[in-house]
Amino acid sequence: LAASILVLFHRLPAVSSRNIEKIVTKVLEIEQALLIEAGSPLREPLLKFLIQFPSETLGVFMSTSHGGMEQWCRYLEYVVRHPLSDSIRDELENCGDRLYYMLTDACPNFATSHRDQLHFFALRLVLLITRNNSTWLGRQDNLLLTIRNLWNSEEFHKTHHKCDSVEYSHWKIPRMVVSILLSYFKSNPNDISLLFELMKAFIGRFIPEFQFLREFLGETVAKSYSPEWKRQAFSDFVLLFEDVSVEQELKANILQYIIIPSFSASFERGEGDLLISNMPTPDIESPNNIVSVFINRVMNPDD
Ligand SMILES: *[C@@H]1O[C@H](CO)[C@@H](O)[C@H](O)[C@H]1NC(C)=O
Ligand SMILES: CC(=O)N[C@H]1CO[C@H](CO)[C@@H](O)[C@@H]1O
């Protein structure tokens, strides 16, 4: 019965956006009372109603009162992933600032008890948007910088290396962050330092696996990136190698996961000369010859 009432809802002009909060609250209460969620018969009728009011819907779901509530988050994720929800997805792309506020605690009104969930939820939404639109994050400077800083903070790595300090449902956060940043990198492959930073995923013990990152490095970077890109990556690596503030393990990972596989793939394909030097005679020692750079600056850095 409740489902048929909802089916009617999106046909009734009198039911307006002002009722969104009440209706959603009611439906989620019913689901909770009946202990049904994924298979609930109310989900789709409610969705058909909500997609008519994308901005009001997102306003309610990302509001200070509901933004960090798990059941609301799960329902919105269902909506955002649904094939009928183009209107919501388009509107969500306009919410970059809102997502930024949610991630940076710039909304003091959010209950602190919901803070972790709010961060998780904001990252989840960013991930869903980037999966759908690979260029979107490149236009969200603040958001991108915040997520990148999060990944580069020691605190983040300390927290997520221990499963007892993170709620079970938040174990996926490192993988979500890497996935978001990698998707940005794929559209901005000249941001080599970002790819280097992502090699922190292989330091220590994160709970999630980063198989997709390994595959990207092995298949895409090593096998399809140009010799010019690889030369640039190498010279960026040499600079980073000489920076004593960068931890050894990160340097080792960049070498192991990016530089060596990339160079090996090029050598196998006979691109060796292009890679080694852009000079016409690659065997002459020159600062541009990466073999001599490697020997002089990486293997014998004290000379
Ligand atoms: C993706 O995002 C960009 C930047 O926000 C926007 O201009 C573009 O229209 C979006 N593309 C699609 C297919 O939604
Ligand atoms: C532009 C784009 O890729 N849109 C897709 C986003 O994802 C939904 C499904 O989740 C597709 O139906 C859209 O076509």
Label each residue of 90-154 as H, E or C.
HHHHHHHHHHHHHHHCCCCCCCHHHHHHHHHHHHHHHHHHHHHCCCCHHHCHHHHHHHHHHHHCH
For residue 81, report the distance from its CA to the centre of ligand 2, in Å.
8
Question: First-to-last CA distance in the chain?
Answer: 81
Q: Which atom of ligand 1 is nearest to the CA of 96?
A: 5
Q: Which atom of ligand 1 is nearest to the CA of 133?
A: 1
Whether pLDDT at 55 is above 50? yes
In the chain, where the domains are located: 189-303
- Taken in order 288, 294, 300, 301, the sign of the CA dihedral is positive
Is there an atom of ligand 2 within 6 Å of 134 CB?
no
Q: Is 230 exposed, middle or buried (0-12, 13-18, 19+ CB in 10 A)?
A: buried
What's the predicted TM-score (pTM) here? 0.84
For residues 26 and 207, what is the distance between their CA atoms, to the nearest angstrom? 36
**Rg value, the chain, Cα:** 24
Whether pLDDT at 114 is above 50? yes
For residue 136, report the distance from its CA to the centre of ligand 1, in Å.
6
**Residue whose CA is at the smallest distance from ligand 2 atom 1:** 132
Q: Which atom of ligand 1 is nearest to the CA of 93?
A: 5
Around Cβ 188, how many Cβ atoms within 10 Å? 16
Is there an atom of ligand 2 within 6 Å of 139 CB?
no
Which has the closest alpha carbon to 81: 57, 56, 47? 47
Mean pLDDT lowest for which of 106-120, 130-144, 260-274? Answer: 106-120
Mean pLDDT lowest for which of 80-89, 101-110, 234-243, 257-266? Answer: 101-110
For residues 169 and 120, what is the distance between their CA atoms, to the nearest angstrom? 9
Q: How confident is the model at residue 4 (pLDDT cuts 50, 70, 90)?
A: low
Rounded mean pLDDT, 140-160:
90
Region class of 270: left (phi > 0), else alpha (psi between -120 and 50), else beta = left
For residues 113 and 118, what is the distance between their CA atoms, to the nearest angstrom? 9
Q: How confident is the model at residue 157 (pLDDT cuts 50, 70, 90)?
A: confident
257, 260, 276, 299 from 264: Cα distances, Å: 11, 6, 12, 18
Q: How confident is the model at residue 23 (pLDDT cuts 50, 70, 90)?
A: confident
Which has the closest alpha carbon to 189: 224, 215, 218, 214? 224
Around Cβ 296, how many Cβ atoms within 10 Å? 15
For residues 122 and 140, what is the distance between their CA atoms, to the nearest angstrom? 14
